[in-house]
Amino acid sequence: MSTSPSPADPRQPPPSAGPATDRLAVVAAGGQVEPEVHERVRQTPAVLEIDRFNLWYGTKQALHSITMPIPHGKVTALIGPSGCGKSTLLRSVNRLNDLVPSVRITGEMRLNGDPIYDQRMDVIELRKRMGMVFQRPNPFPMSIYENVVYALRIDGESKRIVLDEVCERSLRGAALWDEVKDRLGESALGLSGGQQQRLCIARAIAAEPEVLLLDEPCSALDPIATGKVEDLIQELRGLYSVLIVTHNMQQASRSSDYTAFMYLGRLIEYGPTTDIFTKPVLRETEAYVTGRFG
Amino acid sequence: MTRHIDRQIGNLKEKIRRVGTVVEEAISKSISAVINRDVQLAQRVLANDEAIDRMEVEVEEECLKILALYQPVAADLRFVVAVLKINNDLERMGDLAKNIAKRVAQLEGAGPVDLPPEIRTMAMQAEEMVRECLAAVIDGDPVLARRIREQDDVVDEARQKVRRRILAGIKEHPENVEVLLRINSITKHIERIADMATNVAEDVIYMVEGDIVRHRPEE
C-alpha cells in the first residue's frame, strides 16, 4: 500500500496541485495502480473481506484485483463514475453475478470469515445472511405484513406472536411503523415509492442479516422520500453493517462512515468519509469528489 | 471541465486579494506614519478603516453564498473555509493598523523621544510577512507559508529587545513614561500584525494540504 505524502515534506506536491490524470491515465491504459487505503479503515474490524477479487464479463474485465475490508457495524459507500464497477462489486458480494452466464471470477470474499465463493457455500444460505435492496422498490404483491415476515415464513416460522414481533421491530427499524401500523393487512403496492423502499429495507432487516447491501436505493425516489431513506440509513449505523452504492456524492457524504472511490474497475482510494470529502490523499479522488470529472 | 463553482471561487479569490492589498497598504502607511511622525498620513489610515470593514463583510457574504449554494467539498471547501478565516484576520490587521495610526497623533505633542532602533527592523519584518502571506494565499503556496511561520520568531525577539529598551528608558527618564508606554503599545500592535500574518500562513497550509498546523510547533 502506498503511504500518504507527508504534509511536512514541502517537496511533495500538494493534493490539489496539477492535473488529476496520472493514476487515472494509468488505469485508462489498462494498468494497475496501488490503492490508497487509509489506516483507519484497516484498523476497524471487518464483517466482509474482499481479497484480490477480479471479475470478467466474457473477455471484458470489470473488476481488477479489489482488496478491501468492509467494516463491521458501519455504513460504507462505494462511489465512482458510471461503469466503474461499484454495482458489479456489490452484486458479487451475495453472488448475484452467478446468474450471469459469461461471468468468471478469481480471488476471494469472506463473510465473517466464511469464504463466499467456496464450492461448499450454499448460495441460498449465503443470501439469507445478507439483505439486498435495489434501485427500484420491489415489494411483493401481498400485504405489508406478509412482505416483512416473508423470509421468516419461508424459513418455516408460523407462530403469530413471533411474526408480529418481527414485523413491528423491522418496520420500526425501517422508520415506517408509524405510517403503516393501522393498515398492515393492506397491499404493499398501495404505498408510495419512498414507503415501498423503506418496506424493502424492513423486509431485508427482518432476517437480521450480517450485511445489508443497498444498490442506489434512492435513485428512483423524490427528494423527500430520499431524505427519509437517508435518515434511515443513518439510524442503521451501528446496528447493521451496510454497503451502499450511490451515484449521489452528497448521499455518500451524508450517510456513510467510510467511502471507497472506484474507477474503471479499480479501487483508487478508501477512507473515512470525512477525510475523503475534506482532505482526500489523492488528487484523483479530489478531482472526482469536487466534480472536476466523472 | 469548467465547473460553475470555478467562477465563484475565482471571484472570491479576487475579492480577498483586494482586501489584502488595502490592508497591506494601511499597515505600511501606519508604520511609516510612526517612523516619520506624520500625523496626516496617520489620519488617512484612520479614514480608510471603514472601507476595510465593508470589504470584510462582502467577502464573508460571498463565502456563505458559495457554501449554501454549491456545498463545496475537498479543495473547494478548504479554500472557502480558509478565505473565511483569512478575511477575518485581515480585518483585524486593519484594526491594528488603525490603532497604530491613533498613537501617532498622541505622540505628536510629546517631547523629542527617539524611537528604539529595533522598531524599524521589527516593522519591516512584519510588513514583509504580511506581503508574503498574501502572496501565499493567492498562489496557494505552502512552502512560502511555512517560511512565514519561522519569521514570526524574529519579530517576537525584536519586540523583547524593544521592551527592555523601553523599560530602561522609563527608569532613566521617568518624566517620559507616557510617551514610552505609547511606543510600547505600538510595538505590541506590530507584533500582533506579525502574529496575524502567521495565522494567515497557517490557513494557507490547511487550504492546500488539508492539515491544521495551528498550535503545533514548526516542522
Average pLDDT over every residue of B206-211: 92
A243-267 core/surface letters (b: 16 or more CB in 10 A; e: else): bbbbbbbebbbbbbbbbbbbbbbbb
Q: Residues B61-77: pLDDT tens digits?
A: 999 999 999 999 999 99
Contact with chain A for residue B201, Cβ under 8 A: no
Q: Residues B162-177: pLDDT tens digits?
A: 999 999 999 998 988 8
- Amino acid letter, A213: L
- In the predicted structure, residue B189 carries a pLDDT above the cut 80: yes
Compute CA B196 distance to the chain's CA centroid, rounded to the nearest angstrom. 5
Contact with chain B for residue A6, Cβ under 8 A: no
pLDDT at A272: 96
Q: Which residues contact A144 (CB under 8 A, 6 or more apart)?
A: A171, A180, A183, A184, A185, A186, A187, A188, A191, A199
Global pTM exceeds 0.80:
yes
What are the residues facing A66 on neighbouring strands? A53
Determine the distance in angstroms separating the CA of A3 from the nearest CA of chain B, rounded to an integer: 15
pLDDT by position in tens, chain A (length 294): 444 444 444 444 444 434 456 888 888 888 888 999 999 999 999 999 999 999 999 999 999 999 999 999 999 999 999 989 999 999 999 999 988 999 999 999 999 999 999 999 999 999 989 999 999 999 999 999 999 999 999 989 999 999 999 999 999 989 899 999 999 999 999 999 999 999 999 999 999 999 999 999 998 888 888 888 898 898 888 889 999 999 888 889 989 999 999 999 999 999 999 999 999 999 999 999 998 877
**Cα dihedral sign for B92, B93, B98, B102?**
positive
Contact with chain A for residue B69, Cβ under 8 A: no
Nearest-5° Cα angle at A231, A229 to A233: 70
DSSP B81-98: HHHHHHHHHHHHHHHHHH
pLDDT at A225: 86
- In the predicted structure, residue B52 carries a pLDDT above the cut 70: yes
Residue A290 to residue B75, Cβ atoms within 8 A: yes
pLDDT more than 70, % of chain B: 96
- In the predicted structure, residue B136 carries a pLDDT above the cut 80: yes
Chain A 215-274, residues with CB within 8 Å of chain B CB atoms: 249-250, 253
Residue A286 to residue B74, Cβ atoms within 8 A: yes
pLDDT at A28: 87
Contacts of A293 in chain B (CB under 8 A): 1
Give whole-number Cα distances, A248 to A65, A217, A289, B78, B125, in Å: 25, 11, 10, 21, 49
Q: Which of A228, A227, A157 is nearest to A199 (CA)?
A: A228
Split into its structural domains, chain B has a count of 1
pLDDT at A14: 42
By residue range, what is the domain housing residue B137?
4-209
* Residue among B76, B140, B213 whose CB faces A290 most closely: B76
For residue B31, with 0-12 CB atoms within 10 Å meaning exposed, 13-18 middle and 19 or more buried, which class applies? buried
Contacts of B5 in chain A (CB under 8 A): 290-291
Residue A14 to residue B142, Cβ atoms within 8 A: yes
Q: Looking at the domain assignment, is residue B142 inside a domain?
A: yes
Determine the residue of chain A that is closest to B217 in CA distance. A8
CATH number of the domain within which B52 lies: 1.20.58.220
Please report the ipTM that was assigned to this predicted complex.
Answer: 0.75
Average pLDDT over every residue of B83-90: 97
Q: Looking at the domain assignment, is residue B217 inside a domain?
A: no
DSSP A128-181: HTEEEE-SS----SSBHHHHHHHHHHHTT---HHHHHHHHHHHHHHTT-HHHHG
Q: Looking at the domain assignment, is residue B149 inside a domain?
A: yes
Nearest-5° Cα angle at B4, B2 to B7: 85
Query: For residue B205, what is its C-alpha cell?
Result: 497550509
- Amino acid letter, B91: E
Q: Looking at the domain assignment, is residue B153 inside a domain?
A: yes
Mean pLDDT of chain B: 92
Determine the distance in angstroms separating the CA of B66 from the nearest CA of chain A, rounded to an integer: 13
Contacts of A17 in chain B (CB under 8 A): 208
For residues B77 and B61, give the distance between their C-alpha atoms in angstroms, rounded to a whole number.
15
pLDDT at A6: 42
- Amino acid letter, A25: A
pLDDT at B110: 66
pLDDT at A1: 40
Residue A290 to residue B72, Cβ atoms within 8 A: yes
pLDDT at B56: 97
* Residue among B1, B73, B146 whose CB faces A289 most closely: B73
Select the highest-mean-pLDDT range: B28-37, B87-96, B162-171. B87-96
Domain boundaries, chain A: 22-289
Q: Which residues contact A91 (CB under 8 A, 6 or more apart)?
A: A97, A215
Query: For residue A157, what is its C-alpha cell?
Result: 416460522
Query: For residue A51, what is its C-alpha cell?
Result: 481479497
Residue A10 to residue B73, Cβ atoms within 8 A: no
Q: Which residues contact A86 (CB under 8 A, 6 or more apart)?
A: A78, A79, A80, A245, A262
Quick one: CATH architecture of A22-289? 3-Layer(aba) Sandwich (3.40)
Contact with chain B for residue A66, Cβ under 8 A: no
